[in-house]
Structure 1
Amino acid sequence: MNALTTQLRIALLSACLCTACGDFLDEVPKSTVTSENYYKTREDAIAATDAIYDYLISGYAPGGLWDENFGGLFFNDFWELPELMSDNMTSKQSSVDFVSTSNFQIDAFNSRIRILWRDFYQTINACNTVIQKVPDIPMDEVLKNQLVAEARFFRALCYFELTRFFGDVPLHTAPVENVSAANIERTPTDQIYPVVLEDLAFAEANLTYADRLGFGRPYARSASALLARVYLTLGVKQSNTTYLTQAVEKADLVIPEFPLFSGPTGYADIFKLSNRFKGEHIWEVNFNATLSQGWKGNQFLVRLLPQMDTGKGGPANGQGYDAATAALYSAFDPMDARRDVTLFKSFTYSDNTTENFSDPYFCKYWDRVAEPNGNESDATYPYLRTAEMYLIKAEALNELNNGPNGEAKAALNAIRHRAGLGDTPAGNYADFKKAVLAERRLEFAGEGHRWHDLVRMCTLEELSTLVKAAKPNAQPKAANLLFPIPQRERDITNGKLTQNEGY
């Protein structure tokens, strides 16, 4: 998309695109453009849809990088918080918000949780604007359905992820344009999931306009892949064989169209900048630090690489905010090709001296050839990739058959073989479930899956045992199976939003 056009359109839309709840409602509209006189043309429809992508990356921040609202859903903490709230990652910051998350001591006043909530609802509101306004605009029907399908894909993504983080949340299916419209109670998840499934079914059927597919925009099979994730989540939660069967069916639709990178370097190839939007990338967030107008690089290298000597060839602006746990590093077989792609414990400088780190750090997003200097990066965030489809299939078949059949083992082994490992020895239900959980940990380390996997696949006792073994100061409790509802949002609604139990 044209970044300048998008930014101008967002500025024009600021009078009528409202977020739920307080951050936007405190804003003074800076335009006389209204929803009644704006959404008239094909260009208006495209601009409104393109605005969604800004909320995914940079958010609505007229002041640029130093605006307190800068940063969208995937720029901020979406992928980081579920890793900190697990046995994979520990915070090295002085920030109490990140440290408390790492130690399973979050509360309703945690600012990062509030920002996560805000980012979801800003994006949802941009989606709802497209879903409501675009159908009435005279234009090509295929393109119109494409734009609405993009909006419904992202609305489904946001509501699905919101329920995983927070449980029951307010369900808005129309734009929030005033305080009273934002002030609603939490909606039970069993009323939210039908909206998610309907949105994804529409997206799966209507993401067909070739000029708007790929490069950070979803394909029809992106919707199929997200449906596989949703069906697995529901199937496990409800012990629902229909959903589990549908998870397998959707995974099987996706796998042939997005083949795994293979060979000895297959796993490393996922994270090379030359492979953005290729191969097994089903849908990824299109961060671009070097080509876009504005600051739209990602935070992976800044947050994850340790501080090193830039004078001797170390990357710039590595802050080492987060480190991997020693337990994660030890979980890799030394022969696992993923270990040294994912983590490093030392770095050799241009003068051949080597610095050893006190902790292992995540390096999987650092393409040392394309971006040797690090700092802001063009690396994409891999929200959906094909390896997950194999592991969804393996997990669902194990649940359906109370043990792994040949297909389940083949799916799990496909991921192990790519990593240079042999067949899984797991042969019964319990062992195979543990094997899938372990494989997901190694395959997706640093990608934001781990806490969700622990919540879905473990008892509280099992989760606590794994986390405490990696982080002795962490104290997981039953409340931590969900995040707290941000207190600021509860205050804005005068307590209409109830709190999750235990907070």
Structure 2
Amino acid sequence: MKKLILSILVAAGLFGCRKLDQPITREFTETSYWRNSQDALDALAACYEHLSKDDYFFGDEALSDNAYNNGGGLLNVNAIANGGYDGANGRVADTWSYYYTTIRRCNTVTTNIDRVPAMDAMLKRRIVAEARFIRAYAYFQLTVSFGDVPFYTDLITIDQSRVIARTDKNTVQQFVLSELADIQKDLPTNTDQAQGDRGRVTRGAAIAMSARVHLFRGEWQGIVNDCEQLIGKTSNGTYSLFSGYSNLFTVANEYNPEVILDLEYGGGRTYDKQRQFLPQTIAALRSVLVPTQDLVNDYIMTNGKAITEAGSGYDENNPYANRDPRFDATILHHGSRVTDFNGVQQTILTQPGSVPATNTVDDQGASPTGYYFYKYYDRSATNYSSGLNLILVRYADVLLMYAEAKNELGQMNATIWNQTIQPLRVRAGFADAGATQFNAALNQDQQRAVIRRERRAELTFEGLRILDIRRWKTADVVMNKPVRGIKVSSGAFNKDPNGYIIVENRLFTNPKHYLWPVPTVERDQNKNLSQNQDW
């Protein structure tokens, strides 16, 4: 397990290669590096390699009420979700170490790039801007998880690492916002970016990430200002919704105009996480990262009504009929049909007593909730190892952030709705006017519920729900409930009074669990690191 002095001092080794979807293969010494522009690009590639990772992308979903992870996989996120963790938890320690390595790599670039002789000025500014973006991203992730964190932008010494204290999270986040604003002038737009540079940070990514930071901070006008630079504009990049929701998350449609920033895979860099969330009969492995019944219940009906609303048409005996089309594009349920890796169409059966029983809640290796994730299923994967890019920021999120901010400012109206929620629902496949047209009769609180539910349905399985329930301060409500699965009428299951399977009880204490503890191993190395409240 990496200590702080290693987390923030061990250099990247200054290895890398220019393509962002390739593993690091070259190693250099300090004396033989920074000879030319390619060395600088290779050092930057090492920063991109540490932007994020699939363990976080998928594991973050199980930190929320959207998903349940059975067992200690994905760095033991389930212990965090059920409240049974401390500063020694694998994900807690890994997040701190991982992002400080990212910061170290970025600081190496920004500190040393002046050593490259006769470097093209425009290329130099772009490389520095990209490194500053990745560093800002890392600091934002750290403050989201830990609050106050050690902050520095140079290459600190071992002695300094042993005494550095934590900086107030607001100061760090203000730095992040200032960085994202300042680097925009040095970044290309997505339309100006060369095809060989796809996957690199663009001006649009810096703007959209700024909006996300403002969103987490509840700075509504800041969100509006950022989003209005991208919505209906082309000066900072040209973005639009991709034509089909279910096809958005496929290798064939990577780099479509909805993608603002993604985590690059393919070539020599792959991941096998889909083996953990697909049915056993498809992925030939236990299904341990699975959707919850509470997520399923939040998908609206095709007429725009929640399942609990009068006139919704929801039928408990036929619960998956006439639901938000994004539901079937995201989640497999009892009766779902899916084509497996061999091209054979399977019918997924999850109710107890079904034959075959392989994917039912009866089977120990099957989903304990009776649901499976379908989004990000990559049928083109070889030996289950996918090279499908994972989207970190997309234009749909810009629209949703804008809608939420406008509503919080008391400015939601038909015009804003038609710019934001309406196109998302039309793209999803809604046709009923009750779902697509603005309802002026709803007050601000009611509109807030609609927008939050829309955000959940659109962005499920993209790792953003945990940020939402933290910033809304609803985590202590939604994470203090049991993880529930399908409703069953038979079998030896622990069930709630309505017959839904209870998979696990969760605990979330306010304010303690809104921040993770500073990892134990880091405080052992540095006595100046304070601890978060109640840890």
User: Which TM-score band applies after superposition, normalised by the shorter structure?
Assistant: 0.7 to 0.9
CA distance in 1, matches of 2:39, 2:91: 33
* Matching residue of 1:415: 424
Paired position in structure 1 for 2:210? 227
The aligned counterpart of 1:9 is none
Find the partner of 1:134 among 109, 113, 123.
113
Give the Å deviation of 1:501: 0.9
Partner of 2:47: 52
Aligned to 2:469: 454
1:138-187 CA-partner distances (Å, limit 9, x unpaired) = 30001001110110111111111211111111112112453533641111
Change (3 A) 1:26 1:464: closer
Q: 2: distance between equivalents of 1:34 and 1:177? A: 18
Equivalent positions of 1:310-321 (< 5 A) are 314-316=282-284, 318-321=285-288
Structure 1 residue 33: Cα displacement: 5.8
Is 1:330 equivalent to 2:362 in the alignment?
no
The correspondence for 2:6, drawn from 22, 34, 58, is 22
Whether the 8 Å CA contact 2:483–2:506 is kept in 1: the answer is yes
Match of 1:260 among 203, 225, 241: 241
**Corresponding residue for residue 534 of structure 2:** 502
How far apart are the structure 2 equivalents of 1:241 and 1:331? 25
Residue of structure 2 aligned with 1:149, choices 126, 129, 152: 129
Q: Is the 8 A contact 2:7 2:100 kept in 1?
A: no
Are 1:160 and 2:175 an aligned pair? no
Q: Identify the residue that residue 6 of structure 1 maps to in structure 2.
A: none
TM-score of the pair, normalised by structure 2: 0.76
Q: Does 1:184 align with 2:190?
A: no
> Which residue of structure 2 lines up, in the alignment, with residue 484 of structure 1?
517
1:284 aligned to 262, 283, 294, which one? Answer: 262
Judging changes above 3 Å, is the alpha-carbon distance between structure 1 residues 250 and 352 closer, same or farther for their aligned structure 2 residues? Answer: closer
What is the CA distance between 1:448 and its match in structure 2? 0.6
Q: CA deviation at 1:464?
A: 4.6
CA contact (8 A) 1:248 1:397 kept: no
TM-score (norm 1): 0.80
> Amino acid of the residue matched to residue 404 of structure 2?
E
Question: Mean Cα displacement is larger for which, 45-54 or 411-420?
Answer: 411-420
* Matched letter for residue 96 of structure 2: W
Tell me, yes or no, if the aligned pair for 1:93 and 1:99 is still in contact at 8 Å: yes
| Closer/same/farther in 2, CA of residues 353 and 158 from structure 1, 3 Å limit | closer
Is the 1:84–1:101 Cα contact (8 Å) retained in structure 2? no
Distance 2:115 2:404 in 1: 43
Do 1:216 and 1:285's aligned partners in 2 also have CA atoms closer than 8 Å? Answer: yes
Unaligned runs of 5+ in 1: 1-17, 57-72, 309-313
Q: What is the deviation of 1:404? A: 2.0
Distance 1:80 1:154, change over 3 A: same
Aligned match of 1:269 in 247, 250, 264? 247
Equivalent residue, structure 2, for 1:109: 88
Distance 1:462 1:436, change over 3 A: farther
Q: Which amino acid letter does the alignment assign opposite residue 228 of structure 1?
A: A
How far, CA to CA, are the matches of 1:132 and 1:280 in structure 2? 34
Q: 1:353 to 1:196 in 2, by over 3 A?
A: closer
Contact between 1:251 and 1:390, CA under 8 Å: does it hold in 2?
no
- 8 Å contact kept, 1:460–1:477: no
Using the alignment, how far apart are the partners of 1:351 and 1:38 within structure 2? Answer: 52
Residue 327 (structure 2) aligns with = 339
2:193 and 2:149 mapped to 1: Cα distance?
A: 35
Which residue of the other structure, out of 396, 411, 427, is the alignment partner of 1:387?
396
Structure 2: unaligned runs, 5 residues or longer: 16-26, 302-321, 350-358, 362-369, 486-502
Are the equivalent residues in 2 in contact too, given 1:303–1:320 (CA < 8 A)?
A: yes
Aligned in 2, Cα 1:26/1:365: closer, same or farther, shift over 3 Å? Answer: same
State the Cα distance separating 1:406 from its structure 2 match: 2.9
Structure 2 CA distance for partners of 1:135 and 1:23, relative to 1, 3 Å: closer
Letter of the 1:282 partner, please give it: I
SS in structure 2 at match of 1:283: strand
Q: Residues of 2 paired with 1:352 and 1:227: CA distance?
A: 43
1:194-233 CA distance string (max 9 Å, x none): 3212321233111138448753211111111111112222
Asked which structure has the greater CA Rg, the reply is: 2
Q: What's the counterpart of residue 246 of structure 1?
A: 225
* Structure 1 residues 58-106: Cα deviation after superposition (integer angstroms, max 9, x where no partner): xxxxxxxxxxxxxxx3133x22343222210111225593331231333
CA displacement at 1:463 relative to structure 2 = 3.8
Q: Do residues 87 (structure 1) and 65 (structure 2) align? A: yes
Residue equivalent to 1:65:
none
What code does the residue aligned with 1:502 have? Answer: D
Q: In the aligned structure 2, how far is the partner of 1:352 from the partner of 1:152? A: 47
Q: Which residue of 34, 37, 40 maps to 1:42? A: 37
With over 3 angstroms needed to count, the CA separation of the structure-2 counterparts of 1:129 and 1:466, relative to structure 1, is: same
- Output the amino acid matched with 2:371: P
Distance in 1 between the 2:427 and 2:14 partners? 53
Identity within the alignment, %: 29
Instruction: Supply the distance in 1 between the matched residues of 2:400 and 2:134 (Cα, whole angstroms).
Output: 23
Q: Distance in 2 between matches of 1:25 and 1:465?
A: 39
For residue 155 of structure 2, the aligned residue among 146, 168, 175 is 175
Q: 1:251 to 1:163 in 2, by over 3 A?
A: farther
Q: Kindly provide the amino acid, as one letter, of the partner of residue 79 in structure 1.
A: F
* Deviates further, 269-278 or 347-356: 347-356
Query: Compared with structure 1, are the counterparts of its residues 214 and 258 closer, same or farther at alpha carbon in structure 2 (3 Å cutoff)?
Result: farther
Residue 36 of structure 1 deviates from its aligned partner by 5.5
**Structure 2: distance between partners of 1:92 and 1:174:** 41
Residue aligning to 1:218: 201
Summarize deviations over 1:356-415 as a string: whole Å, max 9, x none.
2332111211133x33x66110111110001000000001111122x6223432212222
Provide the rounded CA distance (Å) in 2 between the counterparts of 1:165 and 1:28.
Answer: 23
Residue 364 in structure 1 maps to residue 375 in structure 2: yes
130-139 or 144-153, larger mean C-alpha shift = 130-139
- CA distance in 2 between counterparts of 1:455 and 1:86 reads 9
Distance 1:24 1:193 in 2: 19
How many Å apart are 1:268 and its aligned residue?
Answer: 1.1
The alignment yields a C-alpha RMSD, in angstroms, of: 3.1
* 1:444 lines up with 2:459 in the alignment: yes
- Code of the residue aligned with 2:94 in structure 1: it is I
* Aligned residue runs from structure 1 range 61-80, under 5 A: 73-76=52-55, 78-80=56-58
